[in-house]
Amino acid sequence: MTPKRPARARKDTTVPHIEIDARAQPPLGMPAADFLRDYWQKRPLLIRNAFPGFVSPLEPEDLAGLACEEAALSRIVSHDAARDQWQVRTGPFDEGEFPGMPHQDWTLLVQDVDKWDADVAALLGHFGFLPRWRIDDVMVSFAAPGGSVGAHVDQYDVFLLQAQGRRRWQIDAGEAPPLEFRNDVDLKLLRDFNPTHDWVLGPGDMLYLPPGVPHHGVAEDACLTFSVGMRAPSAAELLGDFVDTLAAEADEALRYRDPDLVPPADPAEIDAQAMDRAVEALNMLRMNDPERLGDWFGRFITLYRSAGEVMAGGPARSRIEVEWDLRNGATLARHPWSRMAWRRSEGGQARLFVNGQAADVDAADASLIANNASLDGATYDALSQAGRDRVFELLLDGHYHLLTEDDEA
């Protein structure tokens, strides 16, 4: 009798759902590890009730006021549907023009709203399943009925949270969607858009889109949408900054050399040996040291791509006064433009990166500082002496401001 062969394990070919209800497990409707495994940078996902009962911390009037600020990055996109013509204007805008805006077919977009509004910034706490340094900003858009920015594609991950009103989203989740742009508008709009899915999102619903998925959102009525966008520098950006760093740190003694030169057959020819020497000269600049490479990336990724700057504040309180305040209920609140991350280095130490600047601290201190937007007395006391020294230096540089109980009242 021929023995039976053991059953071969079947490969799971189940395609993950493209739409789920997250009411029982917001904001993803599943464990974060499952989302990262099945969806992150792989496929889109509509998450109904990602934030059940969501109430926007921002009103359209607040967004319009912010768009009038000189330092805010804002745009108004208008669409003439009859002629299919698009117009883009950049802020700051005059507050007097908003009451006279048309009742339909325009959108106001403001970037970095999380830097201006603490309640909007608090939403980022729900995205702790991602590296914080990967999150770029929360862009908020107000759209009048019919308002849109056209069918387009982003080269970064984005979570589109509906905050007020209703917006219709169409996406093309096909295998090879057309990605050619129109050449008759100032926006990068798709020439052809063939949606495979069509949804209307209400407050609390959220749409996740990985890079490269064509999408088109149109306001069903006056609405607010929060876009949590990721920082995804292009290879060209990385290379450009990397090469600049290499060039700035290069030893002038490292040069093209040809000690093995022999008389050339043709003095005007750049031969293969010359090219080998050129490559050798370039290779001398490579960052073979992992510490130097990590230092470069930490500095690069904590620099903001926008114009927001951190400036030293007014007259500084003495360290004794600051520490007394912390022991008596004050907190050190991080400047909204301060971007922090850290990495382990050799010898059990760590490098703390703050807006492109690096300092050596203990790993425990680095984690505590980078992961807390504010430091109360207990958290400050949990730091080592060197960690507290670094925090005080950051306070002097404007990366923190002292918030007392009187300020909070």
- Position 346 scores a pLDDT of 79
Print burial letters for 115-148: b (CB count within 10 Å at least 16), e (below 16). bbbeebbebbebbeebeebebbbbbbbbbbbbbb
CA distances (Å), 345 to each of 351, 359, 360, 363, in order? 7, 11, 9, 9
Bigger pLDDT: 77 vs 283: 77
pLDDT digits (tens, 9 = 90+) for 14-35: 779 999 999 999 999 999 999 9
Nearest to 214 by CA among 174, 162, 161: 174
- Predicted model pTM: 0.90
Average pLDDT, rounded, for the chain? 92
User: Per residue in 82-124, pLDDT tens?
Assistant: 999 999 999 999 999 999 999 999 999 999 999 999 999 999 9
Predicted pLDDT at 14 = 73
CB under 8 Å to 168, separation ≥6 — which residues? Answer: 198, 199, 200, 201, 217, 218, 219, 220
Residue 284, both tokens: 């001398």
Sketch out the chain's domains with CATH numbers. 19-93+101-230 (2.60.120.650), 237-261+271-286 (no CATH), 319-408 (3.40.366.30)
Contact 44, 173 (CB under 8 A): yes
With cut-offs at 50, 70 and 90, classify the pLDDT of residue 408. low
- Cα dist. 7→3, 4, 10, 33 in Å? 12, 9, 9, 30
Provide the pLDDT for residue 409. Answer: 46
Q: What is the pLDDT of residues 120-173, one digit of tens each?
A: 999 999 999 999 999 999 999 999 999 999 999 999 999 999 999 999 999 999
What pLDDT does 250 receive? 86
How far is the C-alpha of 118 from the C-alpha of 43, rounded, in Å? 31
**In the chain, % of residues over pLDDT 90:** 83
Q: What is the CA radius of gyration of the chain?
A: 26
Confidence of residue 5 (pLDDT cuts 50, 70, 90): low
pLDDT in tens, 178-207: 999 999 998 999 999 999 999 999 999 999
For 218-257, what is each residue's pLDDT tens digit? 999 999 999 999 999 999 999 999 999 988 888 888 899 9
- Per DSSP, the three-state class of 334 is strand
Q: Does the pLDDT value for residue 6 go beyond 60?
A: no
pLDDT tens for each residue of 313-323: 766 789 999 99
